Structure 1
Amino acid sequence: MRQPRLASVIERRLLVNYRVDPEVAARLLPDRLRPQLVRGHAVAGICLLRLGGVRPTWAPEAFGLRSENAAHRIAVEWDGPDGVETGVYIPRRDTASLLNTWAGGRIFPGEHGRADFDVAETPDRLRVALTTRDGGTRVDVTVEPADELRGSELFADLAEASRFFQSGAKGFSATGSGRHLDGMRLHTDAWHVEAGRVRAAASSFFDDPDRFPPGTATLDCALVMRDVPAQWLPLPSMASGHGAAHAA
């Protein structure tokens, strides 16, 4: 079955970013991928995404659906036919939508687990928390808006951070079979991010000392995207080798 292009509005996309020891990050990747380094660090994080108006590009907007979603990500690079390519590896995707759970990996790329979300949003503060139904992953993040990016050791300023994440539009996610990675590319002509100030962040993924020994994953910065029209374009799957499977 040919997978459709999806249209949507990114109502809110919160990127909570960590700088990670490159050797530790490499252990979490499939064979073909390697960490993309910034100032000597690997870059990983959590994408907390509310989508509205999700539908095949040929469908009227009235048929669009809305959902809360989360993806744990590691910035990666790999050798493509025309040179080095960049994107993100996604060991785990989760969603509050039963439809997304069923359709992910079938109708469109990206297998999803189920999660329960708790979101509180005001002009001055954004809190997103989630617990996966399998109990394996918990996230609780509170971010406030900021005029500029401060305190990041990865990026000199907001413009540099924006360019980095815009260039990582290709995402390859783990699948239950372990034999291949599902691929999808984010496309928008209205890319725009704003700086956030993290007030609190807890993640069972990044706080796990077995996965990230103490000192190997440090909270770095947060970025927020709002009300951006976007399309999600299927990519050919990638052989995964014997690397990491779904995060636990």
Structure 2
Amino acid sequence: MRVPVMAGVIERRLLVNYRTDPEVTARLLPAPLRPQLVNGHGVAGICLIRLGRLRPKPLPGGIGMRTENAAHRIAVEWDTPDGVATGVYIPRRDTGSRASALAGGRVFPGEHHRARFTVAEDEQDLRVAFRSVDNTGAVGVHVRVSPTWPGSALFGDLAEASEFFRQGCAGYSETTGGRVLDGIELRTGSWAVEATEVAGVHSTFFEDPGLFPAGTAALDGALLMRDVPVSWHSLPSMPVRREPDRRGSRAVR
């Protein structure tokens, strides 16, 4: 899928991160993707993002949309002629925008579930929650901005965590036909993250024993981005290689 270059501003992007069992994680991925491991763990999470001034380039920002969105993500790697590449696989997207839901899988990669978002935030305290209209997914997150690194089993400090996610800005989603993965890349010249302490989190995705049996997904922390100008660019589609024995768990849509 070739989509127009989109521009906008990340008004708020909350990355809630889990460390996951590599074998369980691998069963959720279409080949040729495999889990990207950090300290022996898979890395997955939820991206809760509010976009402002979203529009096709080079239209002016004044006509852009403002939307609340969520994406469940799994850090992945794959082989290329130039070596190993990294990015994320996105098994599920949710949006509060009717336009984004209609465009998902048609104009933009990935089916988008319509959802109702509830947000309460200030400079130090953020609460973001949503439930999909079809009642297939729900998330609730409460974090507080932290002046110090709260600790993580995945990353040694904020700089290490920031660089990991900066390197994973290519995102791939399955298409309706299932033969290729559509790709899109986030680009910015102003990458910056803040540390947070997680006061509470709930996710039907990570709490689903059909996807993650007990003990195979554990909360690791959350990072925050605010007021970052960005653009999104199409990537070449990636052919899917069918491996029937690989996916023991049910697929996620």
Distance 2:250 2:14 in 1: 24
Which residue does 1:172 correspond to in 2? 172
Q: Which residue of 1 aligns with 2:86?
A: 86
How far does residue 68 in structure 1 lie from its aligned partner after superposition? 0.3
Q: Confirm or deny: 8 A CA contact 2:28 2:251 kept in the other structure.
A: no
Structure 2: stretches of 5+ with no match in the other structure? none
1:16-36 deviations in whole A, cap 9, x for unaligned?
000001001000000110000
Q: What corresponds to 1:218 in structure 2?
A: 218
In 1, the alpha carbon distance for the partners of 2:2 and 2:18 equals: 36
Contact 2:69 2:93 in 1 (8 A): yes
Q: Cα distance 1:245–1:78, how it changes in 2: closer, same or farther (>3 A)?
A: farther
Give the match for residue 131 of structure 1.
131
- Matched residue of 2:31: which SS? coil
The answer for the alignment partner of 2:34 in structure 1 is 34
Q: CA deviation at 1:122?
A: 1.8
Assess if the C-alpha contact under 8 Å between 1:180 and 1:238 holds in 2: yes
Question: Does structure 1 retain, via aligned residues, the 8 Å contact 2:183–2:236?
Answer: yes
CA contact (8 A) 1:176 1:245 kept: no
Partner in structure 1 of residue 22 of structure 2: 22
Distance in structure 2 (CA, Å) of the matches to 1:101 and 1:241: 28
Contact 1:12–1:227 under 8 Å retained in 2: yes
- Gaps in structure 1 of 5+ consecutive residues: none
How far apart, CA to CA, are the structure 1 residues paired with 2:181 and 2:9? 25
Q: Given that residues 210 and 250 in structure 2 are in contact (C-alpha distance below 8 angstroms), is that contact kept between their aligned partners in structure 1?
A: no
Q: Percent identity?
A: 60
Q: Distance in 1 between matches of 2:250 and 2:184?
A: 18
Post-superposition offset of 1:241 = 3.4
Distance in 2 of aligned mates of 1:101 and 1:38: 33
Which residue in 2 is equivalent to 1:108?
Answer: 108
CA drift at 1:63: 1.1
Tell me the secondary structure at the aligned position of residue 234 of structure 1: strand
Please give the per-residue CA displacement for 1:181-231, whole angstroms capped at 9, x wherever unaligned. 111000000000000110000100001122111111000010000000000
Match of 2:252 in 1: 247
* AA of the residue aligned to 1:69: N
- Distance, in Å, in 1 between the alignment partners of 2:205 and 2:111 is 18
- Partner of 1:207: helix, strand, or coil? coil
CA RMSD of aligned residues (A): 1.5
User: What code does the residue aligned with 1:70 have?
Assistant: A
Q: How many angstroms does 1:2 deviate by?
A: 4.6
Q: Give the C-alpha shift of residue 240 in structure 1.
A: 2.7
Give the TM-score taking structure 2 as reference length.
Answer: 0.94
Between the aligned partners of 1:21 and 1:245, the Cα distance in structure 2 is 16
* Aligned counterpart, 1:186: 186
Equivalent residue of 2:232, what SS? Answer: strand
Tell whether the 8 Å contact from 1:174 to 1:245 is kept in structure 2 after alignment.
no
Alignment of 1:188-203 (within 5 A): 188-203=188-203
* Farther off after superposition, 142-151 or 88-97: 142-151
One-letter amino acid of the counterpart of residue 102, structure 2 = W
Match of 2:232 in 1: 232
Q: Does the Cα contact within 8 Å between 2:109 and 2:175 map onto a contact in 1?
A: no
In structure 1, distance between residues paired with 2:173 and 2:162: 22
User: 1: CA distance between counterparts of 2:90 and 2:2?
Assistant: 22
